[in-house]
Amino acid sequence: MIYLTLILCFICSVLLTPLVKRLAFKIGATDKPNNRKVHEKVMPRLGGLAIYLSFMLGVLIFSPNKEVHIPIMVGAFIIVVIGVLDDKYQLPAKYKLLGQIAAALIVVFWGNVEVEFINNPFFGDNRIDFGYFAIPITILWIVGVTNAINLIDGLDGLAAGVSSIALFTIAGMAVFMGNTYVIAMASLLMVATLGFLVFNFHPAKIFMGDTGALFLGYMIAVLSLLGFKNVTVISFIIPILILGVPLSDTIFAIFRRILNKQPISAPDKSHLHHCLLNAGFTHRQTVLLIYAMAATFGMIAIIFSQAKVWGAILLIAVVLVMLELFAELIGLLGKDYQPLLKRLKGKGN
């Protein structure tokens, strides 16, 4: 039954996307080119609505019986409404943030989803309780991942492809843990996103807009919490690895703006995809290269989950060093910020 539902979900997304494209033009939910964007003509936004509706069809057929399901869907509806309004009217950032916090609060208080503690792998069965910080940490995770997906939505097919890879990895990890709810929900959302990607890959015919980017970010954040909450310090890093591309791009963007003494929310053209384009890669090559990075992070997450404690620590150390080197090479923190590269060059001389 689940396989048939996945097929129907994909087909529905393929059929709905052209209709949503017409709707976007009709209501004026379009994206006009400017100096920060790479497209050169007016493009319809709102494509995320096709992802959401197709996903909801799959959810209705699958009919998951889990207490947390209704709160998650209510939060998703709020996110989608905020996204649709932003695609049409370009809402101020503070209103979008309020909507994201509201959706996160619903999941936390109604759905009772929160990271209450993590087990300490170094000292037997001792555990670290977050106490009063459990709720803020959970809300910060949901809002942070929601916006991380939105930040990488800068090239044709980029956010949809990276999200699909993340969802595939989450579903795969959920198989190991026997979490059928996360397996089903991640799989349904993945195929709905892939159906949209048919029209969104370069050259794109439609953008997912904030409707899609915020919805995908929200769902990925919540599903990763359901799959990995209340675990060891080491395995708590797994969802961070799965979302390595969008989260690292977001973190580097924050540090870059701090270094340049700019507001954290200030837009710029120094995100990962911008840097790769500036390095000489074509639009399609840049997207495929970032897909490969996302897939690599996914594989590292799976290897990481099977590693022993000290092996996992060593793996993380290697990943962090390689990430820093890569960021310095392509200028994610600015062309002049290369402390590690300069140190290595100094030793080489």
Is residue 259 within 8 A of residue 334, CB to CB? The reply is yes
Assign 3-class secondary structure to 223-278.
Answer: HHHHHHCCCECCHHHHHHHHCHHHHHHHHHHHHHHHHCCCCCCCCCCCCHHHHHHH
CA angle (91, 213, 207) in 5-degree steps: 85
| C-alpha closest to that of 61 among 11, 127, 123 | 11
3-state percent helix, strand, coil for the chain, nearest multiple of 5: 70, 5, 25
Give the three-class secondary structure for 207: coil
Is residue 184 within 8 A of residue 2, CB to CB? The reply is yes
| C-alpha closest to that of 155 among 194, 200, 192 | 200
Q: Check the annotation: does 150 bind a ligand.
A: yes
Give the three-class secondary structure for 156: coil
> Is residue 132 packed enough to be buried (19+ CB in 10 Å), middle (13-18) or exposed (0-12)?
exposed
Beta strands 43-44; 127-129: pairing state: unpaired
Q: Check the annotation: does 249 bind a ligand.
A: no
Residue with the two structure tokens 């999200």? 163
Tokens of 158: 């980029």
Residue 328's identity, in one-letter code, is: E
| C-alpha closest to that of 166 among 69, 297, 326 | 297
| C-alpha closest to that of 148 among 251, 77, 300, 277 | 251
Is residue 272 within 8 A of residue 245, CB to CB? The reply is yes
Residue 112's identity, in one-letter code, is: N
Which residues belong to the annotated binding site for Mg(2+)? 150, 210
Annotated binding site: 150, 210
